[in-house]
Amino acid sequence: MAIRFSTGLRDKLLGSNSFKDIFQDGIIYIYSGVQPASADDPVQGTLLGKVTQDAGDFTFGSATNGLEFGAPSGGAIDKASAENWKFLGETDGTAGWFRLMGNDLDDLQSSTTLPRMDGSIGTYGKDLELSTISITKGAPYTIDVFRIILPATK
């Protein structure tokens, strides 16, 4: 597993913001290739899809189709159970990693202030599990489970 928090996310979490509030109405971008060494780094790889509610159009700064999380419990937070997190393949490729972003405009370049979380993608044992990592342009995909767990100890 390779969850990476950006400096901006860590600063907000250490302040007065919750994970749920930081990523309210956010979006997940899915990329091919290897995730960057830091969530502060610019993206690399090919954009394969944008996860939103029901694969709807998303605009930074608008709540429309942004992703929501449920209430935290037991040191974990899940996607809101009432939401359908989906994406359409934007091009053919193999999913390798994702970037979760808040609703603030993110140009996907280097930043130590924007809240971001990067993670690995696979069919089993990765941070984000898909039924297949072979993405086809125009095909629909669903995220059934998305859970972030903060460990009790290091």
Q: List, as one string, the DSSP characters of 42-91.
A: PP-S-EEEEEEETT----TT--TT-B-B---BTTEEEB-TT--EEEE-SS
Q: For residue 118, what pLDDT is reported?
A: 97
Q: For residue 91, what pLDDT is reported?
A: 98
- Token pair of 29, please? 């971008």
Average pLDDT, the chain: 95
- Token pair of 13, please? 């979490």
In the predicted model, is pLDDT for residue 1 greater than 90? no
Give every CB contact of residue 80 below 8 A, 6+ residues apart in sequence.
67, 68, 69, 70
Q: For residue 152, what pLDDT is reported?
A: 85
